[in-house]
Amino acid sequence: MLILGLETSCDETGVALYDTGRGLLAHALFSQVDIHVEYGGVVPELASRDHVRKALPLLRQVLDDAGCSPQDLDGIAYTAGPGLVGALMVGATLAQSLAWAWGIPALGVHHMEGHLLAPMLEEERPEFPFVALLVSGGHTQLVRVDGIGEYRLLGESLDDAAGEAFDKAAKMLGLPYPGGPHIARLAESGDPGRFDFPRPMINRPGLDFSFSGLKTFTLNTVNDCRRDSGLTQQDKCDIARAFEEAVVATLVIKCRRALEQEGLPTLVIAGGVSANRNLRGRLQTALAKIGARVFYPAPEFCTDNGAMIAYAGAQRLHAGQQDTPTATVRPRWPMEELPPLAAVREVC
């Protein structure tokens, strides 16, 4: 099956073509970061309007790059949620309209299932069952995965997601949006021994996360530096280093705890924060000590992208699932509500 994937859940327009026999044929992405940076975060109305402008040109580009035409397609997958409702509606209405015009099925895909399955785009893939850490701007979750659609939530953030915490810490330091990459760059020049930030909730039982206290600690440290001698560039580097270390250590501890609790040797980590090099290195080292392995998507597929939607949609369309011809989106959508696809446990 040849599936067109459309991703428009937030501030990135992604389009891709995935073939269940040949793999990923082509993909293209337009990021709206330059549009939203002056506002310090995503402006939903601006995001929706830019998806309208960019989706069709990217679609034409991907078809041309793959040497395909609409007549070659067997289905269209689009992000139906969770996400910004206006942005989701752009992708949903476009996908349903094209599916009707071309006489092929369309299917709304869960955004986080797309992230969870993104490592399957790589040559070396994890085998079910495994534990997944989904860590992005809007989500921080630990999930047990027994197959496609067979998900059990183990723990999640009780307040801000890790990606949101990075954005807010960056704003405290006067860094632009999105904050994660800027924090990581500053942290490389930070003194690891100067500040010791708390690791939230690691001494409590369970697998939930909380980053609100860490944000408050960061703000207090920034204010202390300002009062002492003004916030210098080295202060910013040292605070960024301590903040990143605290988030990474917390995620690593909870991932190891989840694997031990579930008795599984495999961790999948996906979402924008999974591109953090410090997190990848620390997880690799920590899990090696307990004989576990960690799998990631390629860096280009860590953030929102059409390839993960095309892949996830291909698995479900291949199993016979499809939508009615109505553009329905779900800004909030628990992943545990997805139907299991035992028939495609061995993914294409």
Tens digit of each residue's pLDDT (9 = 90 or more) over 121-134:
999 999 999 999 99
Shared domain check, 218 and 311? no
Q: Which residues, 6+ apart, have CB-to-CB distance to 38 below 8 Å?
A: none
CB atoms near residue 39 (< 10 Å): 10
Q: Which of 51-65, 192-206, 334-348 has the highest mean pLDDT?
A: 51-65
Whether residue 227 lies inside any domain: the answer is yes
pLDDT at site 136: 84
Beta bridge mates, 152:
144
Shared domain check, 198 and 64? no
- Strand order of the β-sheet with 23-31 is 23-31, 12-19, 2-7, 75-81, 106-110
Whether residue 344 lies inside any domain: the answer is no
Shared domain check, 166 and 287? yes
- 137 annotated to bind ligand: yes
Q: Which residues, 6+ apart, have CB-to-CB distance to 252 below 8 Å?
A: 279, 282, 283, 286
For the chain, what percent of residues have pLDDT higher than 90? 92
Beta bridge mates, 131:
144, 267
Shared domain check, 143 and 82? no
pLDDT greater at residue 139 or residue 4: 4
Shared domain check, 65 and 12? yes
Shared domain check, 283 and 135? yes
| pLDDT higher than 80, residue 347 | no
Convert the pLDDT of each residue in 277-331 to its tens digit. 999 999 999 999 999 999 999 999 999 999 999 999 999 999 999 998 887 899 9
Shared domain check, 165 and 223? yes
Q: Is 304 in contact with 28 (CB distance < 8 Å)? A: no
Please state whether the peptide bond connecting residue 119 to the residue before it is cis, i.e. omega within 30 degrees of 0.
no
pLDDT at site 328: 87
- 134 annotated to bind ligand: yes
- 276 annotated to bind ligand: yes
State the total domains in the chain.
2
- 115 annotated to bind ligand: yes
Convert the pLDDT of each residue in 55-83 to its tens digit. 999 999 999 999 999 999 999 999 999 99
Whether residue 346 lies inside any domain: the answer is no
Q: How much is the average pLDDT of 26-47?
A: 95
Tokens 């910004």 map to which residue? 84
Domain that holds residue 68: 2-117+302-337
Shared domain check, 136 and 71? no
- 36 annotated to bind ligand: no
Whether residue 343 lies inside any domain: the answer is no
- 212 annotated to bind ligand: no
Shared domain check, 132 and 112? no
pLDDT at site 78: 98
| pLDDT higher than 50, residue 263 | yes
CA-based end-to-end distance of the chain: 10
- Beta strand pairing call for 266-270 and 130-135: parallel
pLDDT at site 344: 44
Cα dist. 17→3, 6, 241, 319, 347 in Å? 6, 9, 39, 18, 17
Whether residue 347 lies inside any domain: the answer is no
- 167 annotated to bind ligand: yes
Shared domain check, 250 and 159? yes
CB atoms near residue 264 (< 10 Å): 17
**CATH number, domain with residue 19:** 3.30.420.40
Spatial distance between the Cα atoms of 54 and 345, rounded to a whole number of angstroms: 35
Shared domain check, 144 and 271? yes
Whether residue 345 lies inside any domain: the answer is no
pLDDT at site 139: 87
Whether residue 109 lies inside any domain: the answer is yes
Cα dist. 30→52, 55, 113 in Å? 12, 9, 21
- 136 annotated to bind ligand: yes
Spatial distance between the Cα atoms of 77 and 308, rounded to a whole number of angstroms: 10
Shared domain check, 112 and 131? no
| pLDDT higher than 90, residue 43 | yes
Q: Name the residue among 168, 98, 146 with its Cα closest to residue 323.
A: 98
pLDDT at site 6: 98
Whether residue 348 lies inside any domain: the answer is no
Share the mean pLDDT of the chain.
94
Q: Name the residue among 136, 131, 58, 88 with its Cα closest to residue 303.
A: 136
For the chain, what percent of residues have pLDDT higher than 70? 98
- 180 annotated to bind ligand: yes
